[in-house]
Amino acid sequence: MSNREKCYSLINSFTEEQLANIEALLTTAKTLTDDSADEAYCSRLYADYQADSDKGEPVNIESFAKSLEISL
């Protein structure tokens, strides 16, 4: 039996009232998993940037905004 099938079997054993709590728990777990994946992705991007030898020259925010024709 797969994990998905085991989960479906467990879910089917709960009452409708219990399912409201299970749904909230699963929603929270999904959100935490998504947030964790986002954090890992951002950390990886930052680590890649730090390891890159060709980072370019820093530019202040005013010059950057002006190059994009944005008024600050």
pTM for the whole structure: 0.49
Q: What is the CA radius of gyration of the chain?
A: 23
User: What span, in angstroms and rounded, lies between the C-alpha atoms of 50 and 19?
Assistant: 46
* pLDDT for the residue numbered 54: 86
* Domains in the chain, number: 1
Phi, psi of 70 (to 5 degrees): -115, 135
Residue 47 domain boundaries: 3-53
Q: What is the pLDDT of residues 3-44, one digit of tens each?
A: 999 999 999 999 999 999 999 999 999 998 889 989 999 999
* Residue 21 belongs to a domain: yes
* pLDDT for the residue numbered 58: 87
* Residue 47 belongs to a domain: yes
* Residue 61 belongs to a domain: no
Q: CA angle 69-71-72, nearest 5°?
A: 135
* Residue 63 belongs to a domain: no
**Token pair in block for residue 57:** 């020259």
**Token pair in block for residue 9:** 């079997």
* pLDDT for the residue numbered 9: 95
Mean pLDDT, rounded, for 41-66:
91
pLDDT band at 63 (very low <50, low <70, confident <90, very high): very high
